[in-house]
Amino acid sequence: MNSNSLNSNWLNSSKDALWYKDAIIYQVHVRTFQDSDGDGIGDFLGLEQRLDYLQELGVSAIWLMPFFPSPLRDDGYDIADYRSVHPSYGTMEDFRKVLDSAHQRGIRVIIEMVLNHTSDQHPWFQEARSSQNNPRRDWYVWSDSDTRYKETRIIFLDTEKSNWAWDPTSKSFYWHRFFSHQPDLNYDNPEVREQMWDVMKYWLEMGVDGFRLDAVPYLVEREGTNCENLPETHAILKDLRRRLDEHFPGRMLLAEANQWPADLRPYFGDADEFHMAFHFPLMPRMFMGLKLEDRKPITEILQQTPEIPASCQWSLFLRNHDELTLEMVTDMERDYMYDMYAQNKTMRLNLGIRRRLAPLLNNDRRRIELMNSLLMSLPGTPIIYYGDEIGMGDNISLGDRNGVRTPMQWSGGWNAGFSTAEPERLYAPIIHDPVYGYPAVNVVAQRESEHSLFHWMRRLIAVRKSSAVFGRGSIEFLYPANHRILAYWRRLGNETVLIVNNLSSAAQAVELDLGRYKGNVLIEMFGNNLFPRVRDLPYLLTLGPYQAYWFRLRRV
């Protein structure tokens, strides 16, 4: 069976256009996952070898971080060619193999697309800077002075002093919202918009199931604004969505827009812009609520989260390839988060904390489980960052965000089973500290241990996938007087699930008002055990430290 027929079979069987609402997404960088050719760098064929593992874990989609040709000055987010793959990761044929193999296993493939900017090594920029009269000059944003758009914030505060950089070649300034080696494309130019749709179409025709569109709030600049979330930007995104629906129905767009909920809402439009968007403000508040042992930060941000169209979905995550961003918190909250989670200042980067999940939670299995329980039960599609399912650690001695991008730890053998290369040839050193090092934390060991985090995560994912209520249902909070208990209903049609989480390090008693469901019994979803019938009195539950219950309600 050739690739094209595999793809078309897959597409034909993908009748549910809302697949992303039920998905369990696994975020992985090709470079970090598995090296198949012994050069010390992960590649597509290595990834393909590990798809069985992802299938075993239960993920239903993978999100591949940028794998395009790039000078790799920003881990691939500085793209130099949108229509190819970085030679270190293999060939286009290798990519197609991954795509087909994933689809054969029922795993969708979402790829990264950086619309906002290119690498300064991209031929478009090389042409644009070559002369003021070059036809591609206007594909980027140029200025004779660095004083335009002064109300625009600088995102990478630790490295950049301005959003303008001087180009000595063409003797003018160019606009960049991120690193100065990442010039912003000029979306006021119709050729740019058309070109970027062509790029997306190229990958869609190959069979990718969706895009994670990077840095979307910044596409258009206007004087007198902060150059974020502008109506013109939304118009461009809506146009991309229209073309997608017209030519590639069932494919998905996921927005990376690190904004407050009210500012995020427009990215869903009237179900005519993005299918999904990351809920950035929720993530730090989950960590905050856990440390405070108080549900208030979590319920408050979700109270402030506007309704979204029925076909849209929030995308939830605990950790990712970037720092734990603290942009969408108040100064007081940010100080608290730094003091609680990053007392060592080297753990801080920009406005965030560059750490993985397990180290952030002091490798406390109970807290790791609770946070994953929240991730899987709050409304949205969960994204698991590679390695977090086995509790991988980080290496803060590596610069920038590289400390959370170390090789996947497959085994206790040579290079953690990641590569056969000499260790010094690896793209990054493997974690080898006594707590998180590969001899202690690896897939092989956890597969063999029935009570490992890996098996717990498998079970969690399986329970989540057992009901559509988690991906598609509504949420309603209960507000028990015990503020350490975060409890909510998830409902879809006739199905009702009650989630009760203890955010505290101590055992808790809580009385829940379940009167509406009088006569129902509670069935604990992990063990399928019966709990007492709901009566007139408040329902008394006791929970151990950091314990979570998922109950299905049934009349029997």
Partner 1 sequence: MEDGNFLTDDFLRQLIDVGEADILVGLPTHNNAKSAGAIVRTIRDGILRSFPRERAVIINADGGSRDGTRELITELSISDAHPASSLHALRTLHAISTQYANTPHSGVALRTILSAAELLRAKACIMISPDSENISPEWISSLIRPVYYDSFDLVSPTYRRHKFDGLLTTNLLYPMVRALYGVRIREAYMPEFGFSGRLGSHFLGQNQWSNGADENGTELRLTLAAVTGKFRICQTFLGTKDPVERRGADLVPALRQSVGVLFSALEPDFDVWSTMSGSQDVPTTGDDVELLLDPLRINRKRLREMFVSGVAELESVFQSILAPSTLAELKGIAGLGEEKFRYSAELWVKTVYEFAAAYRKSVINRDHIIQALAPLFRGRVFTFVVENRNGSAKDVANNIEGLCLEFERLKPYLLEMWKSKE
Q: Is 433 helix (H, G, I), strand (E, B) or coil?
A: coil
Q: With binding defined as CB under 8 A, does residue 407 bind partner 1?
A: no
Identify residues 334-353 at the interface with partner 1 (CB under 8 A): 336
Packing angle, helices 282-292 and 365-377, rounded to 10: 140
Q: With binding defined as CB under 8 A, does residue 280 bind partner 1?
A: no
Binding segment for partner 1 among 14-22, 155-163, 504-512, 547-555 (CB under 8 A)?
504-512
Among 482, 496, 520, 547, binds partner 1 (CB under 8 A): 482
Query: DSSP state, 254?
Result: E
Q: Which of 530, 389, 397, 401 is nearest to 454 (CA)?
A: 389
Q: With binding defined as CB under 8 A, does residue 330 bind partner 1?
A: yes
Q: With binding defined as CB under 8 A, does residue 498 bind partner 1?
A: no
Q: With binding defined as CB under 8 A, does residue 501 bind partner 1?
A: no
Distance CA 338, CA 259 (A): 20
Query: DSSP state, 406?
Result: P
Residue 180 tokens, joined: 């100065």
Among 481, 493, 494, 527, binds partner 1 (CB under 8 A): 481
Q: With binding defined as CB under 8 A, does residue 297 bind partner 1?
A: yes
Q: With binding defined as CB under 8 A, does residue 303 bind partner 1?
A: yes
DSSP string, 99-157: HHHHHHTT-EEEEEEE-SB--TTSHHHHHHHH-TT-TTGGGB-EESSS-TTTTPPPS-T
Give whichever of 103 and 295 is closer to partner 1, judged by the CB atom: 295
Identify residues 135-174 at the interface with partner 1 (CB under 8 A): none
Distance CA 341, CA 361 (A): 8
Among 509, 524, 532, 537, binds partner 1 (CB under 8 A): 509
Residue 249 makes CB contacts below 8 A (sequence gap 6+) with: 17
Q: With binding defined as CB under 8 A, does residue 358 bind partner 1?
A: no
Give whichever of 303 and 528 is closer to partner 1, judged by the CB atom: 303
| CB atoms near residue 391 (< 10 Å) | 24
Q: With binding defined as CB under 8 A, does residue 36 bind partner 1?
A: no
Among 29, 348, 367, 484, binds partner 1 (CB under 8 A): 484
Distance CA 317, CA 323 (A): 12
Distance CA 71, CA 241 (A): 30
Give whichever of 95 and 336 is closer to partner 1, judged by the CB atom: 336
Question: How many residues sit in the footprint of partner 1 (CB under 8 A)?
Answer: 26
Q: Do 250 and 19 form a contact (C-beta atoms < 8 A)? A: yes
Give whichever of 297 and 393 is closer to partner 1, judged by the CB atom: 297
Sheet holding 164-167, edge to edge: 142-143, 172-175, 164-167
Identify residues 43-62 at the interface with partner 1 (CB under 8 A): none
Binding segment for partner 1 among 6-14, 331-339, 412-420, 457-465 (CB under 8 A)?
331-339
Whether 495 sits among the annotated catalytic residues: the reply is no
Distance CA 60, CA 105 (A): 9
Among 232, 272, 294, 513, binds partner 1 (CB under 8 A): 294
Q: With binding defined as CB under 8 A, does residue 507 bind partner 1?
A: no
Distance CA 362, CA 1 (A): 48
Residue with token string 């063999």: 448
Give whichever of 185 and 485 is closer to partner 1, judged by the CB atom: 485
Among 160, 263, 333, 513, binds partner 1 (CB under 8 A): 333
Whether 307 sits among the annotated catalytic residues: the reply is no
Query: Shortest gap between Cβ of 296 and partner 1 (angstroms)?
Result: 5
Query: Shortest gap between Cβ of 353 and partner 1 (angstroms)?
Result: 17
Rg (CA), the chain: 24
Give whichever of 40 and 281 is closer to partner 1, judged by the CB atom: 281
Distance CA 68, CA 448 (A): 36
Q: With binding defined as CB under 8 A, does residue 286 bind partner 1?
A: no
Residue 450, classified by CB atoms within 10 Å of its CB into exposed (0-12), middle (13-18) or buried (19+), is: exposed
Among 504, 543, 547, 549, binds partner 1 (CB under 8 A): 504
Binding segment for partner 1 among 214-222, 467-475, 476-484, 545-553 (CB under 8 A)?
476-484
Among 300, 422, 448, 524, binds partner 1 (CB under 8 A): 300
Give whichever of 477 and 531 is closer to partner 1, judged by the CB atom: 477
Among 7, 119, 377, 508, binds partner 1 (CB under 8 A): 508
Distance CA 128, CA 132 (A): 7
Among 41, 480, 501, 552, binds partner 1 (CB under 8 A): 480
Among 479, 495, 521, 545, binds partner 1 (CB under 8 A): 479
Q: Is 325 helix (H, G, I), strand (E, B) or coil?
A: strand
Q: With binding defined as CB under 8 A, does residue 506 bind partner 1?
A: yes
Q: Which of 107, 100, 108, 109 is nearest to 1 (CA)?
A: 100
Q: With binding defined as CB under 8 A, does residue 252 bind partner 1?
A: no
Distance CA 362, CA 86 (A): 36
Residue 336 tokens, joined: 């608290």
Q: Which of 112, 256, 273, 389 is catalytic?
A: 256
Q: Which of 22, 75, 112, 214 is catalytic?
A: 214
Catalytic residues: 214, 256
Binding site for partner 1 (CB under 8 A): 288, 292-297, 299-300, 303, 330, 332-333, 336, 477, 479-484, 504, 506, 508-509, 511
